[in-house]
Amino acid sequence: MSARSFSDRNIGRRTVLKAAAAASVLQLGAPFIRKANAADAVKIGLDNPLTGTFAAVGKNELVGCQLAVEQINAKGGILGRPVELLVEDSTSGDAGTAVQKARKLIERDKVNFLLGNVNSALALAMAQVSNEKGVLHVVPGGHTDAVTGATCHWNVFRICNPTQTEANAVTPALIKTMGKKWYFITPDYAFGHTLQAGLEKAGTKAGYVKVGGDLTPLGTSDFSSYLIKAQAAKPDVIIVLPQGDDMINCIKQAVQFGLEKRVHLAGGQQELEALEGLPPEARVGTWVFEWYWNQPGVPHVAEFVAAIKKKTGRVPTARTWFGFAATWTCALAAANAKSLDAVKMAKALQGFKLPPEVALMPDAAYFRAGQNQLIPNLYVGNAQSKGSAGPDDLFNVTQVVKGEEVSPTLEESGCKMVWPA
């Protein structure tokens, strides 16, 4: 969906889910109420975009977090204590604001966990703060490799995939169905740079040829000059890498120019939010999704879809799942460690497999020891105007790729984990 299609009534600038926590606790009866009242709440701080280019995906991550908090409280909270979700708007691209909000959540609000950010550059900046403060930090949806690569930290875990993993998953399908001559339109920040680099690395092995490329500023609304240059280079494929509203603007304008009739429009990461924001005729191309809602026969997926539709009226997206899995990771870390000590929780997550009701995919997703990167399935396929499962079925999955088969090794990631003495 686009940022404008999500009702801001449901999400304030700062949200504390005390009401949800209280409602869940009441269902458990008086003994839990007395225990909860006697203990301080466990606080999870979300520092994520609610405004700007990434507002739609940021808000969907929030919805996933909210559902997880409701479920965790219904099961007794974290270590017998109720859970509160504190939310701050990081903006979509201001690292200074994201860092300021992270410090506020940690230093003033005393959160036990930090979540965020959608924007890779902001996630990296926040990770410096969480590491300095020794707070367990889960990055739901910031993809640049360095988060769990060259600048990895013992306290920082990630749900979404590194860009190299995405590139490795989708490149064979791009080469097979689209062609080998590629022109890149790439967002000019950390995520875009590493996703293009990942596609170039994977493409080189498959014999691709780069015929050109442009870097585009975050928040670009007019892509006409870039599209004209791309067409002149006569590629087989225009690789479209911007995300959020920028992705919508780029593909919509390309279709308005009729480019999809002369070249293929495709790329790496794609989001249901972007496909929802596009007109049906612009839902084209081969891409990789990191999670998809239409998974017939996979345990617990239907219940998750129903729970999200009850909250929002729409199916969940990969971003919804990112927020959901990130929040549950906090609760599972504490339960496994039997402690809220960040080092003990981080140690407890080494090699930890998410339970099926959280993983929501065919194969067990687990955190790679020594890197803190979740290794999940990826979903390769093509965009579609409307699928057999209804108006929300905008992606046709042609291959479920095992994360283990396309993830760089621990050595290749560049992560050299250093633990506190």
Output the pLDDT for position 3: 35
Contact present, 249 and 221 (Cβ < 8 Å): yes
The class (CATH top level) of 3-161+296-376 is alpha beta
Output the pLDDT for position 39: 55
Give the C-alpha separation, 330 to 326, whole Å.
7
- Span 202-231, pLDDT tens digits: 999 999 999 999 999 999 999 999 999 999
Instruction: Please give the model's pTM, rounded to 2 decimal places.
Output: 0.90
Beta bridge partners of 207: none
Give the residues of the chain that fall short of pLDDT 50: 1-38
Q: Which amino acid is at 405?
A: E
Q: Where in the chain is the domain with CATH 3.40.50.2300?
A: 3-161+296-376, 164-289+379-406
How many CB atoms sit inside 10 A of residue 215's CB? 15
Beta bridge partners of 238: 183, 265
Output the pLDDT for position 385: 96
Give the C-alpha separation, 341 to 343, whole Å.
6
Output the pLDDT for position 218: 93
Output the pLDDT for position 180: 97
Pick the CATH number of 164-289+379-406 from 3.40.50.80, 3.40.50.2300, 3.10.20.30, 3.30.565.10: 3.40.50.2300
132 CB-near residues (< 8 Å, 6+ apart): none
